[in-house]
Amino acid sequence: MQTIFLTGFMGAGKTTIGQYLAEHLQWPVYDTDQLIEQQTGQQIKEIFSLYGEERFRELETETLLKKNNQPCIVTTGGGIILKPINRELMKSTGTVIFLRADFDIIWERLLQDDNRPLVKNKSKEEVEILYNSRLPLYMESATHIVDTSNKSIDEIVQQIAHRLRLN
Ligand SMILES: Nc1ncnc2c1ncn2[C@@H]1O[C@H](COP(=O)(O)OP(=O)(O)OP(=O)(O)O)[C@@H](O)[C@H]1O
Ligand SMILES: O=C(O)C1=C[C@@H](O)[C@@H](O)[C@H](O)C1
Ligand SMILES: [Mg+2]
């Protein structure tokens, strides 16, 4: 089994599910947002405001390129699917699981945290437009789609392990 990449919109639960899945499988887990923050010593919102979104997208690609080939879970930033090279890198080196969730559920989760520059000061309608514009890219790059709406973290972890025949 190669790398398991978790993709999906902000608030879909990639980071959270990745931690629990890693514990369940006893595999290492890496989060691209956290790796970028560690590497730069800056928070994502600072990177966006100091250098812009484009620079952040380059850092995401660099992070994917640095990954070694050991089995692991990689939880990604919500916009990792925007660059074709990222979609190709993930699909060619692993299994890509798109964590799908209804927009209303995502919106409720996003209200809890202010470290997401693409959501800050945006209306629900504006963020929903972004969500809808990205859906085809999550779908196109996924090898599996797992619906997480109204499911507990444990149910989602079990479902992923079952789909990948890892339990
Ligand atoms: N299945 C779930 N049920 C209830 N709450 C959840 C579920 N999954 C995630 N959450 C909660 O939603 C919030 C967002 O989750 P998380 O940070 O894991 O999302 P993410 O997909 O990594 O987002 P980002 O792309 O911004 O990094 C967290 O507070 C988390 O506890
Ligand atoms: O959806 C996005 O574009 C983002 C999601 C977050 O995980 C971070 O990578 C950053 O806030 C951008
Ligand atoms: Mg995350």
Assembly ipTM: 0.97
Note the pLDDT tens digit of each residue in 29-82: 999 999 999 999 999 999 999 999 999 999 999 999 998 888 899 999 999 999
By 3-state DSSP, what share of the chain in percent is helix, strand and coil, each rounded to 5?
55, 15, 30
The answer to whether residue 166 is domain-embedded is no
Pocket test of ligand 2: the residue of 39, 55, 75, 116 to mutate, having most ligand atoms within 8 Å of its CB, is: 116
- CA 32 to ligand 2: nearest atom: 9
Domain coverage including residue 20: 3-161
Yes or no: say if 98 and 142 are a contact pair by the CB < 8 Å rule: yes
Question: How many residues appear in the chain?
Answer: 167
Sign (positive/negative) of CA torsion 43, 80, 64, 52? Answer: negative
Q: What band does 1 get if pLDDT is binned at 50, 70 and 90? A: low
Domain count, the chain: 1
In this structure, is residue 167 part of a structural domain? no
Mean pLDDT score, 130-145: 97
The predicted model scores a pTM of 0.97
Residue 167 has pLDDT above 90, yes or no: no
CATH number at residue 98: 3.40.50.300
